[in-house]
Amino acid sequence: MTKKYEELIGELKDIVRKMEDSNTSLDEMITLYEQGMVMVRQCEDRLAEAEVKITELGRES
Amino acid sequence: MKIIDQVIMDQATLDNWNKKEGPVTLRVSEVSRMITRLLEDKALQNIWITGEITNFKRHSSGHLYFSLSEQVAGKESVVSCTIWKSAARYLDFTPDDGMEVRAYGSISHYEPGGRYSFQITQMRPSGAGERALLIEGWRREMAAKGWFSPERKRTPPKYPIRIGVVTSSTGAVIHDIRNVISKRFHAEIILSPTTVQGISAHEEIARAIIRVQDKVDVLIVGRGGGSYEDLFAFNHPCVVEAIVTCPVPVIAAIGHEVDITLADLAADVSASTPSHAAEQCVPDRESELDALMHMKKRMFLQLMNRLESAEEDLNGIRDRLSSPRLLREVRIRQEALADLTDRMVRGAQGVKDRAHSRLAEYRGRLEGRNPLVFLKRELPERKAFLAELKGRLSCAALVRLQAERAELTSLSTILKARGPEAIFQAGYCMVSSAGNVIRSCADLTPGETVTIRLIDGAADAAITQVYHDKKV
């Protein structure tokens, strides 16, 4: 199950917040940066999906 | 045929008249003129009509165009009306949709347009329009139930995955929504089709809402612009209730910006148009990409800053580890140690001195109170005092003794001179009886034994005879 865009953005925000915390160690920071960049790419990919799917419900259901 | 008699026909038509069998063929202008004639019937001239104003429009020229409508047994009748600027000037109220009015005028046919209208010269309001009244009643009931209260407005999700749209499947609304959403964000649209106007539209709209509400994250209820009557279904309580009880947030986009239906008031968000609703429904792809770019930049800068500070820390530590610096540090600490030792020694000496002086002081105070020393110092003085006292005492005793002795001599002389010794010497004696001195013969009885005291002794004697010197 792929993550929702909203979840990705939420996690990305958490990563940025952790990176801005002065207590984060350098090693941790590098790991966070790598994770963050993966998420940014996933979000960008998600935004690139242009098609909009339309489903029409039957009137009697 | 009666009608045709009254119509002025073209010569060509007249020429062919009655020459042919079968249905008559007429020219447009002829029909048009016939209609004009018919509509100019007395029954339709200078009459009063009552009805509700709908579709009211004020043209920039100042003329007013609208309909007078009436609903009888669910069937709607409409008459188009015009008030020319010249007559509009004299209206003593501002006409608007929903007003119930009485209008005076004549039906007139506009041949170039093929339309007829009621040309009004006078018009008066006759109470609030029936529909407006109905809607106002509903509005009050719903407001009392709290359906419009701001506290129950929900915020639609920022990133909906499935968006429900309740509207006509053929109208421009779904088309506009699809266009806007596809430009902005990736999402799935689930259309729940419904008719949006007509007698039972309200029931169908409510059903369409209920049908889709559990499948989506947010719901758009939409309808394009239309007349006051066209939007009527969106005021109906059954539509409004479906919106209020919908488990997901509802965005209403009904009619144009100026049209406010009860559905708009009850929805969580009221958008001016369906496109606007779609914009409010999903975030904009461009701004999301900007935000991502911004976050990317922040992460990168943060990492760079951290790297820089790590490097600075490292340089600092390297600098602190250099040997001249270490030596300097050691020297500083040695000096500090020496200083500390000095201070300790000085401090100890001071404590010792103070203890000594205090000891001496105590000793002095103790000596001062020693009784032996005290006595040694006082003894000679006291001895002298005692000797002096003794001298003074013996001297006084001697003087006293002499004085006493002299007094004693003088007293004994007196005593000797005046005492019984001399009397006894002269021969007197003292008679006493039972210890009492006898001083009179009356105290003597013959036979009584008495004691006679002489100078050198005593003798007992018995009285034989008593002789009184005188008879008493």
The reported pLDDT for the residue numbered B1 is 42
Q: Side chain identity at B355, as an amino acid letter?
A: A
Instruction: Say what the ipTM of the complex is.
Output: 0.84
Closest chain A CA to residue B161: A4
At B235, the pLDDT band (50, 70, 90 cuts) reads: very high
Give the mean model confidence (pLDDT) for residues B97-113. 88
A60 at B interface, C-beta within 8 A = no
At B293, the pLDDT band (50, 70, 90 cuts) reads: very high
Maximum mean pLDDT: which of A41-45, B249-253, B342-346, B352-356 = B249-253
DSSP 3-state helix, strand, coil percentages of chain B (rounded to 5)?
50, 20, 30
Which parts of chain A have pLDDT scores under 70?
Answer: 1, 50-51, 59-61
Inform me whether the pLDDT recorded for B14 exceeds 80: no
Which A residues, 1 through 20, put their C-beta within 8 Å of a C-beta on chain B? 4-6, 9, 12-13, 15-16, 19-20
Give the mean model confidence (pLDDT) for residues B419-442. 82
Could B191 and A57 be called an inter-chain contact, meaning their C-beta atoms sit closer than 8 Å? yes
Inform me whether the pLDDT recorded for B36 exceeds 80: yes
CB B257 within 8 A of CB B273: yes
Lowest mean pLDDT among B38-47, B126-135, B432-441: B126-135
Tell me the CA distances in angstroms from B378 to A4, B373, B375, one per residue in order.
Answer: 115, 9, 5
The model's pLDDT over B141-181, given as tens digits with 9 standing for 90+, comes to 999 999 999 999 999 999 998 999 999 988 889 999 999 99
Inform me whether the pLDDT recorded for B193 exceeds 90: yes
Lowest mean pLDDT among B48-57, B91-100, B202-211, B404-413: B91-100
Q: Average pLDDT, whole number, for chain B?
A: 86
Length of chain B (residues): 472
CB B194 within 8 A of CB B204: yes
Mutate: best of B180, B290, B295, B298, partner A, most A CBs <10 A: B295
Q: For B441, which DSSP code?
A: G
Smallest Cα distance from B233 to chain A, Å? 18
Between A19 and B368, name the one with better pLDDT: A19
Tell me the CA distances in angstroms from B58 to A12, A21, B85, B134, B382, one per residue in order.
Answer: 55, 63, 10, 25, 145
Could B158 and A6 be called an inter-chain contact, meaning their C-beta atoms sit closer than 8 Å? yes
Chain B residues near residue A20 by CB distance under 8 angstroms: 298, 302
At B128, the pLDDT band (50, 70, 90 cuts) reads: very low
Which A residues, 40 through 59, put their C-beta within 8 Å of a C-beta on chain B? 40, 43-44, 46-47, 49-57, 59
At B21, the pLDDT band (50, 70, 90 cuts) reads: low
Between A16 and B422, name the one with better pLDDT: A16
What are B107's two structure tokens? 């039906």
CA distance B70 to B74: 10
Percent of chain B with pLDDT over 90: 34
Between B197 and B152, name the one with better pLDDT: B152
Inform me whether the pLDDT recorded for B194 exceeds 90: yes
Could B191 and A24 be called an inter-chain contact, meaning their C-beta atoms sit closer than 8 Å? no
Inform me whether the pLDDT recorded for B441 exceeds 50: yes
Give the mean model confidence (pLDDT) for residues B109-137. 82
Chain A residues near residue B205 by CB distance under 8 angstroms: none
Neighbour order of strands in the sheet with A53-56: A53-56, B188-193, B162-167, B218-223, B250-254, B269-270
Name the CA radius of gyration of chain B, rounded.
77
Q: Could you tell me the pTM of the whole model?
A: 0.49
